[in-house]
Amino acid sequence: MQPIRPMSLSTKRYTYVVFNFVLYRTDVPKNILATSSVGGGSHLIPMLEILNILVDRGYNVTLVAPGNFTANSDSYRLIPQIIVGDEVGTSLLNSDQELLKKLFFEVADFTTMAKSFDAELYTKFYNIYKRTAEDINVDLFFCDFAINDQCFDLAWQLEKPVVGFSSSPMFATIQPPYKSDPVLGCHVTMENESFYERFKCAIIKPLQLINVFIKTLSSLNDQRTNLGVETYWNPRSRMDNILFLFDTFFGFEPPAPMLPLHQEIGPVLPDTYPDLTPALDSFLNAHPRTMYFSLGTNVFTSPQNIIILLNSCLELIKQNIIDGVIWATVKTNITELMSFSNIDFPISNILNNNYPHIHITKFAPQFAILSHENTKIFLSQGGVSSSHESIYTATPMLVLPIMGDQFGNAEKLELAGIALRLSKFNLTVDNKY
């Protein structure tokens, strides 16, 4: 057996291509720009939970959103924020308060919804996003879906990768004909609908929606033209071929096929939540059948509806169905309620926290309240984060949807046997019992 001999090296010269590996930046932290034009806990907290993980891994994250959110939070203080607008939601909608009241109090038809959005805000946000992207030398965009075309457009314009984020795939991706939404005047699923209803919701209603929003789309394209951004008419055209994350409970959405890069990942819930205050803890311990009432951070209902709800709560307490109510007022105008004098219950005592069985607070640690064994029911507007927290804590719900996706959420919750729906249009004292 012949011994193995080492191969001799030839004297042939080789030319090597020297790569600048800094271009790939595999060992350099990426700079991530996260944006939301809506703000508020429902939109920001799930995003920030994901971004916190990236910060822990060494990435540099900057947030652009309304309200001073991260600085006031113990959990997200390490994420710097560019503040757009002083208050949550102020940068999303037209500042016409009468139009907002019409949107919140009356039927939110296509025309009202289209008027409520200010296309000129596109330019404002685009320029802020662009300046921030240049300042941080952005590598990746992380875009909240809601009214945030400018984020996806800027990523496209700069040829940067982008990740989309939404609580629902309903309007962010193409839906099968058996799914729809109450915003279109349809049910969330066509399972039990007639042929006429299916045809109307699959063909007629989407065409009506396009017809109403064509002016808004045209205004957006005018803004794009002024900024040198390529125009387009399909709102989903920048989103079909990117990674899109949907924060939703598995089974909450009616089943439907999805694109390969579109993934359901939820629910994304924080690892820690604020604890109960001593006053709330004492109230809950003293009231073993408590209702928690909150309409979230972005919407409100009419003073007349609030009076009806308070009167209903008093009737429920009188009949010993519940024995206490915690009400987080948030955007409710308390001064406006004080002007109601032709009512037969002590409104001033309640609003001044002098009524022993109703505790009023501006903001409340919602998850801690829902987690308490004495919280028996949650009266909510049906926002995404509220729905997720209620499902997670197994707290039954009464849902009073005000606008947008809340109507669809209410229907999905009811179909799942988790909630009962109320209507803001014909609310009566008898509704709640």
Q: 261 near 243, Cβ under 8 Å? A: yes
- State mean pLDDT over 93-108: 60
- State mean pLDDT over 172-198: 92
Residue type, 416: A
Is 10 a member of any domain? no
Q: CA 198 to CA 186: how far, in whole Å?
A: 9
Q: What is the pLDDT of residues 365-417, one digit of tens each?
A: 999 999 999 999 999 999 989 999 999 999 999 999 988 889 999 999 999 99
Decide: helix, strand or coil at residue 420. strand
Q: Which of the pair, 306 or 19, is modelled with greater confidence? A: 306
Q: 431 near 312, Cβ under 8 Å? A: yes
Asked if pLDDT for residue 151 goes beyond 90, the answer is yes
Asked if pLDDT for residue 291 goes beyond 70, the answer is yes
Is 134 a member of any domain? yes
Q: CA 240 to CA 299: how far, in whole Å?
A: 30
Q: Which of the pair, 283 or 215, is modelled with greater confidence? A: 283
Start-to-end CA span in the chain (Å): 96
Strand partners, 335: none
Asked if pLDDT for residue 11 goes beyond 90, the answer is no
Same domain, 206 and 290: no
Q: CA 198 to CA 177: how far, in whole Å?
A: 8
Is 14 a member of any domain? no
Same domain, 57 and 149: yes
CA triple 390-254-433, angle to 5 deg: 45
Q: Which of 239, 264, 289 is the last residue of a domain?
A: 264
Q: What is the pLDDT of residues 71-89, one digit of tens each?
A: 888 889 899 999 987 654 4
Same domain, 306 and 255: no
| Banded model confidence at residue 18, pLDDT cuts 50, 70, 90 | very low
Decide: helix, strand or coil at residue 141. strand
Q: Which of 264, 298, 313 is the last residue of a domain?
A: 264
Token pair for residue 339?
Answer: 């002007």
Q: What integer pLDDT is reported at residue 92 of this predicted model?
A: 45
Same domain, 218 and 288: no
- State mean pLDDT over 85-96: 52
The reply to whether omega before 267 is within 30° of 0 (cis) is yes
Same domain, 285 and 223: no
Q: Give the distance from CA 251 to its chain's centroid.
A: 18
Q: What integer pLDDT is reported at residue 135 of this predicted model?
A: 96
Q: CA 390 to CA 384: how far, in whole Å?
A: 10
**How much of the chain exceeds pLDDT 90, in percent?**
53
Same domain, 286 and 230: no
Q: What is the pLDDT of residues 234-270, one digit of tens each?
A: 888 888 889 999 999 888 999 999 889 999 998 999 9
Asked if pLDDT for residue 286 goes beyond 90, the answer is yes
Q: Which of 235, 264, 293 is the last residue of a domain?
A: 264
Same domain, 285 and 400: yes
Same domain, 199 and 328: no
Number of domains in the chain: 2
Same domain, 81 and 117: yes
Q: What is the pLDDT of residues 313-340, one digit of tens each?
A: 999 999 999 999 999 988 777 777 777 6
Is 21 a member of any domain? no
Same domain, 146 and 256: yes
Q: What integer pLDDT is reported at residue 373 of this predicted model?
A: 97
Token pair for residue 320?
Answer: 């010993």
Is 78 a member of any domain? yes
Is 270 a member of any domain? no
Please give the full DSSP string across 255-305, using - where no structure is assigned: P----TTEEE------S--PPPPHHHHHHHHH-SSEEEEE-TTT----HHH
Is 344 a member of any domain? yes
CA triple 133-135-140, angle to 5 deg: 35
Could you tell me the pTM of the whole model?
A: 0.83
Asked if pLDDT for residue 105 goes beyond 70, the answer is no
Same domain, 61 and 108: yes
Strand partners, 262: 244
Identify the weakest region by mean pLDDT among 21-30, 234-243, 287-296, 400-409.
21-30
Contacts for 304 with CB less than 8 Å, ≥ 6 apart = none
Q: Which of the pair, 202 or 88, is modelled with greater confidence? A: 202
Q: CA 107 to CA 425: how far, in whole Å?
A: 8
Q: 310 near 345, Cβ under 8 Å? A: yes
Q: CA 298 to CA 326: how far, in whole Å?
A: 19
Query: How high is the mean pLDDT of the chain?
Result: 85
Cβ count near 156 (within 10 Å): 17
Specify the DSSP element, H or E, that contains 122.
helix 121-136
Q: CA 153 to CA 159: how far, in whole Å?
A: 10
- State mean pLDDT over 146-172: 93
Decide: helix, strand or coil at residue 165. strand
Token pair for residue 409?
Answer: 């959420």
CATH code of the domain covering residue 286: 3.40.50.2000
Same domain, 77 and 108: yes
Is 8 a member of any domain? no
Token pair for residue 308?
Answer: 């009806």
- State mean pLDDT over 13-24: 48
Q: What integer pLDDT is reported at residue 184 of this predicted model?
A: 87
Kindly give the residue spans of alpha helices, DSSP state H, lying in 31-84: 41-56
Phi-psi region of 355 (alpha: psi -120 to 50; beta: other; left: phi over 0): beta
Q: CA 300 to CA 313: how far, in whole Å?
A: 18
* Domain carrying residue 48: 28-264
Identify the weakest region by mean pLDDT among 46-55, 140-149, 257-266, 370-379.
257-266
